[in-house]
Chain A
Amino acid sequence: MQAAGHADLPSDGDLARRVSAAGVDASDAEAELFRRLAPRVRLYGLRHLRDPAEADDLVQEVLVLTLERLRAGRVREPDRLASFVLGTSRLAVRNLRRGRKRREALLDRFAGVFPRRAETDLLLLDQGRLRECLEGLAPRERTVLVLTFFAEQPSSEIGARLSLSSENVRTVRRRAFVRLRDCVVGVGA
C-alpha cells in the first residue's frame, strides 16, 4: 500500500536522503519534509490519543527525533521513511500516555480546581452546519455515528446492542459518514 509519487515532486525518500547527505545544510528539504509529515503524524496522534493538544505534542516530538536521526545519517532506509516515522510515533504515543496518567493523577489531587477536560476547537467544523446535517440523517444512522465517535464503540458492540450484524453496522456507519461528510464539507472531501 504505497502512495504514488508525482513526476515533479521529490519523494519523501529523496528528501530524506538529501537531509542525510547534507545535514543542517539541507534546510529546504527539512522544511518540505516537515510540511508533509506534520499533518500525517498529527492524524496518527488524533487516532491514538484522541486529544488535539496531545497530537500536537506528538508531532513536535516525532519530527524533531526524525530530523535529528536523518541529519546524523541514522535512518537506514530513507525510502521507507514512513516505517521509521510509524515506529517513532508508536513509542512517543506510549510515552505521552504514561505522562497522561501522571497528569490525571495530579488532576485527581486537585479535583475541582482545574476543569476535568479541556475542550479544544482545533478540529471543529462549522458546528451549526454539522448539526443541521446530522439532523438530516435517519435516527439509526445518527445513533450509530454517535456510538462510534462519542462512545468509541466498535461495530461488533453496536451490533450486539441493536440486534444487527457487525456487517450491517459497518454499512450503516459508512453510509451515514459519507452523507454527513458530503453535507458538511462537500462531496468527495
Chain B
Amino acid sequence: MSAACAAPLADETLLAWWAGELEGPDQERLEEHLLSCDECSRRGHTLAGVAEGVRGLVRKGALSIAVLPAVVEQLQHEGRQIRQYRLRPGQGVQCTVSPDDDVVLARLAADLGGVSRLDVVIRVDDGPELRISDLPFDPNAEELVFAPAVDTLRKMPAHVQRMRLLAVDPQGERVLGEYTFDHTPWPGA
C-alpha cells in the first residue's frame, strides 16, 4: 500500500528535472520530495523507463527519424557503427547495410535558408509515395539528416528509393532536391 501524494509533481517538472534543467533549491526540494513519496517516485520510474526505452531504440537504429547533430555526436561517443551516405540534390548512390551497422544516415544536402516547413516524399520502386510532413530541421545547417529504421532496411530486397525534399509555405511548395538510393542487401545476409 502506498501513501497518497498531497502535491503530485507535474509531468513538466519531472521532465525538467530529468533533463537537468532544475538547479539549486528547486532541485533540492524536488529530490527531497521524490525521496519521501512513493507515488511521485513511481511516476519518476515510468519516466526513467521511457527514457531508457527511447535510448535503446536509437542505439539499435530502430527509429525512422530526422536526426540532429547532437544525436550523431552521442552515437559516435558511444562507439556505435554508423554508415553514412552524403548526397547533393540530383545525386544517386549505391547503398547497403552491413550486419555490423547500428545506424544508417542519409545526409541530404539542401539549401534550408528561409525554409519554414520541410516535408519529405519517399517512394520505393514504383510503389505509392509516402509523405512525411513538418520534419524538424536546423535552419542553419546545409543538410537534412535522415535515419531509416535499420531492421526494416535489412529485410528489404534490392530496391531503388527516391527521396524528394520540399520547402512548404503558404504560397505553395518548391523542390529543394531529389536523391536516389540504389539499395543492395548485404551479401549473404
A76-94 interface with B by 8 A CB criterion: 81-83, 85-86, 89
Contact status B58-A146, CB under 8 Å: yes
> Does residue B176 face the partner (Cβ distance < 8 Å to A)?
no
Instruction: Return B155 CB to nearest CB of chain A, in Å.
Output: 15
Minimal Cβ-Cβ distance residue in A for B42: A39
Minimal Cβ-Cβ distance residue in A for B132: A139
Q: CA separation between A135 and B149, bound complex, in Å? A: 11
Q: CA separation between A71 and B15, bound complex, in Å? A: 36
Contact status A1-B139, CB under 8 Å: no
B115-142 interface with A by 8 A CB criterion: 132-139
Contact status B33-A1, CB under 8 Å: yes
- In-complex Cβ contact of B56 among A43, A46, A124 (8 A): A124
- In-complex Cβ contact of B19 among A1, A9, A154 (8 A): A154
Minimal Cβ-Cβ distance residue in B for A134: B63
Contact status B50-A125, CB under 8 Å: yes
Residues of B within 8 A of A36 (CB): 38
Residues of A within 8 A of B5 (CB): 3-4
Instruction: Return B79 CB to nearest CB of chain A, in Å.
Output: 5
> Does residue B18 face the partner (Cβ distance < 8 Å to A)?
yes
Contact status A146-B63, CB under 8 Å: yes
Contact status B53-A130, CB under 8 Å: yes
Residues of A within 8 A of B168 (CB): none
> Does residue B189 face the partner (Cβ distance < 8 Å to A)?
no
Instruction: Return A185 CB to nearest CB of chain B, in Å.
Output: 6
Residues of A within 8 A of B16 (CB): 155, 170
Residues of A within 8 A of B37 (CB): 3, 40
Q: CA separation between A140 and B119, bound complex, in Å? A: 12
Residues of A within 8 A of B18 (CB): 47, 148
Contact status B21-A139, CB under 8 Å: no
Minimal Cβ-Cβ distance residue in B for A46: B48
- The 8 A CB mask of B14-49 against A (1 = contact, 0 = none) is 011111110000001111111111111111111111
Q: Number of contact residues on B: which range applies?
A: 35 or more
Instruction: Return A152 CB to nearest CB of chain B, in Å.
Output: 7
- The 8 A CB mask of B138-156 against A (1 = contact, 0 = none) is 1100000000000000000
B5, B48, B132 pick with most chain A CB within 10 angstroms:
B48
Contact status B45-A39, CB under 8 Å: yes
> Does residue A54 face the partner (Cβ distance < 8 Å to B)?
no
Contact status A155-B21, CB under 8 Å: yes
Instruction: Return A69 CB to nearest CB of chain B, in Å.
Output: 15
Can you give 22 contacting A-B residue pairs, CB < 8 Å? A1-B30, A1-B33, A2-B36, A4-B4, A11-B3, A40-B41, A43-B41, A82-B33, A89-B35, A124-B53, A134-B54, A139-B134, A142-B65, A146-B71, A147-B71, A150-B58, A152-B74, A153-B19, A153-B70, A156-B21, A161-B68, A177-B47
Chain B residues with CB under 8 Å of chain A are 1-7, 11-12, 15-21, 28-59, 62-71, 73-74, 78-79, 132-139
Chain A residues with CB under 8 Å of chain B are 1-6, 8-9, 11-12, 36-37, 39-44, 46-47, 52, 81-83, 85-86, 89, 116-117, 119, 123-125, 127, 130-131, 134-135, 138-140, 142-157, 161-163, 170, 173-174, 177-178, 180-181, 184-185, 189
